[in-house]
């Protein structure tokens, strides 16, 4: 009776319950059209679907869509905000609810919340820089002020996830061209007004609508800075009505306000304020609903908006909520033949752009908003006219270009023409550049009075020349002390060849320990050095460099030396490097090889009768890793030698510390010759047992052997020191950390705690 009464009030004439049951969906459509201005008789009402924002709870939207499809309920217009813009956009492109479910549940959405470039993708030089400056900060300086990004994340990875799921569609002149006319809603950061996105890149529209302020950098479209549409219009009912919908089906998955007992932190308060703004916009929109519209509210209040692991839980809640409104929803069901005609019409529109995907590209157009040379961009992208570009190829190309670490964002869109597809690639310079601060930190403690703490700070000026010249000034404090400045100049636009000039002032402490591993005395060495080098980046992961070097300094110890020992040296060097490790500390794949060779002559002019002459110094290091499931096997080896060890030298090799002859103090052994090798086993305890997904937790152990010698004649296999370790370690965006115990066969024992780089 209540339902009959509603029809009576709404339609203006009585309708019995029995009559209502006997009325077909076609008859109801006629009744509705007779009472709605703007529609013609004998036409069904146009149905508009409105999908709200709600983060990970967006899987509930797909559940609602599944119910609509099961009961042959058409959707003529669709608009969404945030995750609703994504689901709505995908559905508007022509994906079914079943396909959408598979896509959404198959994507690792957590990847979209990290824009960190994988170490193995970086160039050899950038790997060295990241290893040294392991604290990921984005701080620049220019025009007299410090600059930071406008969001914690740049949105690079998220845009790639969205592009993959849409399957490389073209840019649209208008979103009415889609299988279902579509709109995405964002918020103008400058005015706080809602912005309706109805043309261009559907990926950009989706991402702009879901750009959480401060977490993600604002999207820039048509000169506007856009953020999450939930602030201005979280349930865009007015938008769908404006598109021409007669009936609104709105799905609300917004978050409720929390009780005061949960408002116990600054983040909780900020989240509550954000929810207030979002709910206020939703409440205003709900006032636009009429009695013949349907508002669906799944029971998702207890679910997280940011934990995408809850998607499989949210999906059936959408189905359940839609089924609660099934009686009314069925009023809009089409007959089988009508629904098939509707689907065929959608498919015909989808095919209009789906056919374009397999066409070869005829041109690659660069929109380069940076000082990086076009030649280097094209070489890194490595996509040529005539190729058919699929998602895998485009993703690899964008990753390779972004891995140059010179851009804030790299985006790609397609424009379809009669001649073929045009790929438009947009590269945007880092907004906090072109001059940057970098910070590195390490702390190794063996629970004695001698902790090894090092802080690295650098300031780099980039884009100084047409080919990408850089000038970096460095300061290292703590266990090691270095003040240096280096100018690095690529010689060609592809940055294949380079020259560099470096000045460095270093204070080094040589600690000498007795047989009981107690510190006996310490020598202080101060060195000024200058290097001039010429090199080639023979591959992205490797370089070769030749050069000359000159040094001048002094060795002192007030207790055992009456005066400082001054020295000078000069010579040439050769360096070779190759590095494909995915982590410098806890690798599971790749290898790293470095060889440093010097031909130098050292002059200790205070030594009476000392005759300086040229001698060779060689130091080589290797590290390799492979993994099988959660098991990783790592090998490492190092070798150093001095050709004429009867000569005095300041170039000594050091050994000791965690995984470098565990059980000994860091760098407590020093000599002219060194040999060391280790086998390390790591088990990913975090992912396999504890269910950790963000970062690994390794349970590891090592077997090590090595020693150092002053004279070549002293080198003997039976003089090797054997050691081992057990540890728990993790590798995070903030650097590695580990807690372990090490021991050697000569009785050395120590606990280790290290945070930051250890290589």
- DSSP string computed for 36-59: STT--TTSPPPEEEEE---GGGGH
Report CA-CA distances (Å) from 696 to 623, 687, 700, 728, 741.
Answer: 20, 6, 12, 10, 20
How far apart are the C-alpha atoms of 528 and 460, rounded to whole Å?
21
- What's the rounded Cα separation, in Å, for the pair 450 and 322? 66
Q: For residues 636 and 624, what is the distance between their CA atoms, to the nearest angstrom?
A: 6
d(CA 497, CA 486): 16
CB 711 within 8 A of CB 672: yes
Q: Nearest 10 degrees: CA dihedral of 559, 560, 562, 563?
A: -90
**33, 34, 39, 40 alpha-carbon torsion, rounded to 10°:** 110
H or E segment to which residue 251 belongs: strand 247-251
Eight-state DSSP code of residue 309: G
Q: Which residue, 8, 569, 100, 531, is CA-closest to 315? A: 100
Residue with tokens 């076609």, as numbered in its chain = 26
Residue 548 DSSP SS3: strand
Between β-strands 452-461 and 361-369, what pairing exists: parallel, antiparallel or unpaired?
unpaired
The residue written with tokens 């994507």 in the block is: 107
3-state secondary structure of 610: coil
In the chain, the largest separation of any two C-alpha atoms, in whole Å, equals 122
Note the helical H segments in 218-329: 230-233, 237-243, 266-286, 311-324, 326-329
Contacts of 432 (CB under 8 A, 6+ apart): 138, 139, 140, 147, 148, 149
First to last CA, the chain: 78
**DSSP assignment string, 650-710:** S--EEE-STTSSTTSPTT-EEESEEEEEEEEEEEEHHHHTS---SS--EEEEEEEEEEEES
CA–CA gap between residue 595 and residue 574 (Å, rounded): 8
Q: Which residues have a Cβ under 8 Å from the Cβ of 270 and sit 6 or more positions away?
A: none
* DSSP conformation class of 512: E
Tokens 């042959």 — which residue? Answer: 72
Q: Are strands 151-153 and 749-756 parallel, antiparallel or unpaired?
A: unpaired
Nearest to 663 by CA among 714, 703, 621, 622: 703
What CA–CA distances, in Å, run from 432 to 141, 374, 408, 428, 687? Answer: 7, 21, 9, 11, 36
Cβ atoms of residues 587 and 123 within 8 Å: no
Contact partners, residue 700, CB within 8 Å, separation at least 6: 586, 680, 681, 682, 683, 725, 726, 727, 728, 729, 740
Question: Which residues have CB under 8 Å from 392's CB, separation 6+?
Answer: none
Q: Considering only CA atoms, which of 323, 200, 303 is closest in space to residue 253?
A: 303
Active-site positions read: 82, 228
What residues contact residue 428 under an 8 Å CB cut-off, 6+ apart? 369, 370, 407, 408, 409, 410, 411
Task: Residue 218: count other Cβ atoms within 10 Å of its Cβ.
Answer: 22
């Amino acid at each position: 009776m209540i339902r009959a009464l509603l029809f009576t009030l709404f339609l203006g004439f009585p309708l019995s319950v029995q009559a209502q049951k006997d009325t077909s969906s076609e008859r109801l459509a006629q009744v509705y059209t007779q009472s709605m201005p703007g529609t013609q008789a004998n036409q069904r009402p146009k149905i508009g679907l409105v999908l709200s924002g709600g983060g990970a709870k967006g899987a509930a939207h797909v559940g609602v869509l599944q119910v609509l499809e099961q009961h042959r309920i058409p959707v003529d217009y669709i608009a969404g905000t945030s995750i609703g813009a994504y689901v709505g956009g995908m559905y508007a492109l022509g994906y079914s609810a079943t396909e959408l479910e598979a896509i959404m549940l198959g994507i690792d959405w957590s990847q979209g919340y990290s824009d960190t470039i994988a170490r193995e993708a970086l160039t050899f030089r950038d790997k060295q820089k990241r290893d040294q400056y392991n604290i990921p900060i984005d701080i620049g300086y220019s025009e007299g002020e410090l600059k930071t990004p406008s969001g914690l994340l740049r949105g690079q990875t998220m845009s790639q996830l969205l592009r993959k799921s849409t399957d490389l569609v073209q840019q649209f002149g208008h979103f009415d061209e889609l299988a279902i006319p579509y709109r995405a809603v964002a918020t103008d950061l400058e005015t706080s007004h809602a912005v309706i996105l109805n043309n261009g890149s559907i990926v950009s529209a989706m991402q702009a609508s879901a750009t959480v302020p401060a977490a993600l950098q604002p999207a820039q479209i048509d000169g506007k800075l856009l953020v999450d549409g939930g602030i201005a219009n979280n349930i865009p009912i007015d938008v769908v009505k404006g598109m021409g919908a007669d009936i609104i089906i709105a799905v609300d998955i917004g978050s409720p306000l929390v009780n005061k007992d949960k408002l116990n932190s600054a983040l909780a308060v900020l989240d509550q304020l954000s929810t207030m703004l979002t709910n206020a916009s939703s409440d205003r929109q709900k006032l636009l609903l009429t009695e013949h519209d349907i508002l669906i509210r799944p029971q998702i209040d207890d679910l997280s908006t940011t934990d995408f692991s809850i998607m499989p839980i949210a999906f059936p809640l959408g189905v359940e909520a839609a089924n609660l409104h099934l009686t009314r929803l069925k009023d809009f069901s089409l007959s089988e033949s009508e629904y098939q005609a509707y689907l065929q019409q959608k498919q015909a529109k989808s095919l209009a752009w789906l056919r374009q995907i397999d066409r070869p590209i005829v041109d690659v157009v660069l929109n380069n908003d940076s000082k990086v040379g076009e030649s280097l961009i094209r070489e890194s992208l490595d996509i040529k006219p005539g190729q058919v570009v699929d998602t895998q190829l485009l993703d690899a190309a964008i990753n390779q270009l972004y891995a140059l670490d010179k851009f804030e964002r790299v985006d790609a869109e397609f424009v379809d023409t009669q001649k073929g597809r045009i790929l438009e690639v947009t590269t945007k310079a880092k907004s906090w550049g072109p001059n940057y601060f970098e910070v590195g930190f390490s702390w190794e403690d063996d629970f004695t009075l001698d902790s090894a703490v090092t802080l690295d700070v650098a300031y780099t000026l980039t884009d100084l020349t047409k080919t990408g010249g850089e000038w970096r000034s460095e300061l290292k404090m703590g266990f090691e002390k270095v003040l240096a400045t280096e100018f690095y100049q690529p010689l060609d636009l592809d940055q294949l060849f380079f020259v560099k000039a470096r000045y460095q002032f270093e204070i080094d402490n040589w600690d000498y320990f007795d047989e009981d591993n107690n510190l006996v005395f310490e020598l202080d060495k101060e060195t000024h050095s200058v290097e001039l080098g010429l090199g080639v980046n023979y591959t992205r992961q490797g370089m070769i460099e030749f050069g000359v070097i000159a040094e001048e300094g002094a060795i002192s110890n007030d207790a055992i030396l009456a005066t400082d020992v001054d020295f000078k040296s000069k010579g040439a060097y050769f360096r070779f490097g190759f590095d494909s490790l995915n982590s410098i500390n806890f690798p599971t794949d790749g290898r790293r090889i470095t060889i440093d060779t010097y031909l130098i002559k050292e002059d200790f002019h205070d030594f009476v009768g000392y005759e300086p002459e040229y001698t060779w110094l060689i130091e080589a290091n290797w590290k390799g890793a492979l993994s099988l499931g959660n098991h990783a096997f790592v090998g490492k080896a190092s070798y150093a030698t001095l050709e004429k060890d009867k000569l005095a030298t300041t170039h000594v090799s050091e050994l000791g510390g965690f995984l470098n002859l565990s059980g000994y103090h860091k760098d407590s052994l020093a000599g002219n010759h060194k040999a060391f090798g280790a086998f390390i086993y790591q088990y990913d305890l975090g992912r396999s047992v504890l269910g950790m997904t963000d970062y690994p937790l390794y349970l590891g152990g090592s077997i090590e052997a090595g020693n150092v010698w002053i004279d070549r004649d002293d080198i003997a296999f039976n003089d090797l020191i054997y050691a081992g370790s057990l540890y728990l370690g993790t590798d995070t965006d903030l650097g590695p950390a580990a807690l372990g115990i090490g021991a050697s066969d000569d009785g050395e024992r120590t606990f280790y705690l290290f945070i930051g780089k250890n290589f």
